[in-house]
Structure 1
Amino acid sequence: MSGINRLHAVEAAHLFIDKHFPHCQGASLAGSVVRGEATETSDLDLVIFDQSILASYRESYIAFDWAIEVFVHNLLSYKLYFESDVKRARPFLPKMVSEGIILKGKDVIEPIKKEAKELLDNGPEEWIEEMVKLKRYFITDALDDFVGCSDRAEELFIANTLAELVSEFVLRTNRKWVGNSKWIVRSLKNYNPEFTNAFVEAFDTYYKTRDKTNVIEVVEKVLKPFGGKLFEGFSLGKD
């Protein structure tokens, strides 16, 4: 695929829908092209609402010189995905629907967009105390492994695990949505840009110099308001 002289995203999306989903009740375009964050490798994310299908599915295409991902739902199945995404605190489908440009079926999609926006505005459920303790324990375990490790290869993967655990902890204890991959950083920036800069800089310094100091300080600072590191007295599954 080449980005040179290819159709505009919205035009390509319309043509794709006309060809592959001509009888759908609604369709919207979401993703990086809508947010103004598209790169040379960005694809088109399309959410399709088709009452004729029995079960939701996802499918990938190459069409009109674009990589296209379609997420197909009927007018009830999307609710199960909304519910699942909220429980995971990763609002993949609600975010796509909320930010999407309606291409077809405005009367069908507008109420679903409203539903998605309300879910996003409400945020994820608050972690119960037991979950906070569990996550503190896992972070403590990863941090201790990180501090004590002297094998560079092992350190790299421990650092990755630690970064994911801590980012999740920060976001969930503040009732913010989480993400994975690039969405970890984006979610953190949406919550607190200043913390995100310090967090990223700490790990970047470690990866470049192997100096663990800043990472340790950031992790301990995150845990401090919740009682700090947790090992002694932690129990799981005991009657």
Structure 2
Amino acid sequence: MSDLDITVLDATATVHRESLRHRGWPVELFVHTAASIRHFVSQDLAERKPTMARLVARGVPLLPGDGGAAVRHYCGEVLEAGPAPLPAETLAGARYALSDLLDDMQGAAPGPEGTAVAVETWRRTAELVLDVNGCWRGGGKWLMRELISLDTETGTSWVPRLDAGLAAALAGDTTLLRVTAEECLSLAGGRLWEGFHQAASIDESR
């Protein structure tokens, strides 16, 4: 049974989330003020995941009144605008990480390590495909839902290839997953390993 996600907008509330059952139905309550919704939308934007914005903008008002029209409009605009362009440094880091995983995959023997590398390659490839196409990311099932939406809009086949590629890799054949990841990297500028440089961010005040 799928749970019900209910956002409660209350200017006097203590912001929190709560899991409960109502008449046997699992319910996730997200209790917010307008300010807290904007705060969490801002946090989500940094991760390129529109979790809060989607929850509010696409929810159905259950009580009389304007249903939080102003904040719902704000969240709708965020969804419509999409994520900000990926910074060059972040894109380089993503290319490097996936390139490194592909090298690991070539040398990984079947077993726990090979499984871990395959799963991470699958995830990183899916995220990078979404990034280079200017799409939202997602976590868990929403990662695939975002990718399904991209496939539907563009006529691509990332989802079935990644799904089949991961299944084959877990069974010992990494060919399809590697080919799919390489195709993704070609869209992002190709493999990146030698010459990659990333400055460390250190808080020297501590």
Query: Is the structural similarity TM-score above 0.5?
Result: yes
Q: Does 1:79 align with 2:42?
A: no
Query: Where do residues 90-109 of structure 1 align in structure 2 (5 Å cutoff)?
Result: 90-109=49-68
Which secondary structure does the structure 2 equivalent of 1:84 belong to? helix
For 1:205, the equivalent position in structure 2 comes to 168
For 1:237, the equivalent position in structure 2 comes to 199
Contact kept, 8 Å, 1:85 with 1:92, in 2: the verdict is yes
Task: Determine the C-alpha separation between the residues in 1 that align with 2:187 and 2:57.
Answer: 34
**Runs (5+) with no aligned partner, structure 1:** 1-40
Shift of 1:48: 0.1
**Runs (5+) with no aligned partner, structure 2:** 201-206
Query: Where do residues 67-146 of structure 1 align in structure 2 (5 Å cutoff)?
Result: 67-146=26-105
Task: List structure 1 runs of 4+ shifted beyond 4 angstroms.
Answer: none
For 2:181, the equivalent position in structure 1 comes to 219
1:65 to 5, 10, 24: 24
For 1:175, the equivalent position in structure 2 comes to 134
Q: What percent identity do the matched residue pairs reach?
A: 28
Shift of 1:82: 1.3
Which secondary structure does the structure 2 equivalent of 1:127 belong to? coil
Aligned length: 197
Question: Aligned partner of 2:11: which letter?
Answer: Q
Q: Does 1:228 align with 2:187?
A: no
Shift of 1:98: 1.6
Contact kept, 8 Å, 2:161 with 2:177, in 1: the verdict is no
Q: Quick check: 178-187 or 106-115, which moved more?
A: 106-115
Task: Determine the C-alpha separation between the residues in 1 that align with 2:15 and 2:197.
Answer: 40
Q: Does 1:43 align with 2:3?
A: yes
Task: Determine the C-alpha separation between the residues in 1 that align with 2:92 and 2:129.
Answer: 13
Shift of the 157–200 alpha-carbon distance from structure 1 to 2, 3 Å rule, reads same
Which secondary structure does the structure 2 equivalent of 1:107 belong to? coil
For 2:144, the equivalent position in structure 1 comes to 185
The CA RMSD measured in Å over matched residues stands at: 1.7
Question: Aligned partner of 2:121: which letter?
Answer: L
Shift of 1:237: 1.6
Could you give the per-residue CA deviations for residues 141-167 of structure 1, whole angstroms, max 9, x where no partner exists?
111111210141111111111111111
Could you give the per-residue CA deviations for residues 16-51 of structure 1, whole angstroms, max 9, x where no partner exists?
xxxxxxxxxxxxxxxxxxxxxxxxx21111100111
Q: TM-score, normalised by structure 1?
A: 0.77
Task: Determine the C-alpha separation between the residues in 1 that align with 2:195 and 2:45.
Answer: 31
Highest Rg: 1 or 2? Answer: 1
Q: TM-score, normalised by structure 2?
A: 0.89
Which secondary structure does the structure 1 equivalent of 2:173 belong to? coil
For 1:25, the equivalent position in structure 2 comes to none
Query: Where do residues 11-22 of structure 1 align in structure 2 (5 Å cutoff)?
Result: none
Could you give the per-residue CA deviations for residues 106-134 of structure 1, whole angstroms, max 9, x where no partner exists?
41422222211110010011112111111
Task: Determine the C-alpha separation between the residues in 2 that align with 1:106 and 1:144.
Answer: 57
Which secondary structure does the structure 2 equivalent of 1:47 belong to? strand
Q: Does 1:155 align with 2:117?
A: no
Task: Determine the C-alpha separation between the residues in 1 that align with 2:19 and 2:162.
Answer: 35
Which secondary structure does the structure 2 equivalent of 1:228 belong to? coil
Task: Determine the C-alpha separation between the residues in 2 that align with 1:195 and 1:157.
Answer: 20
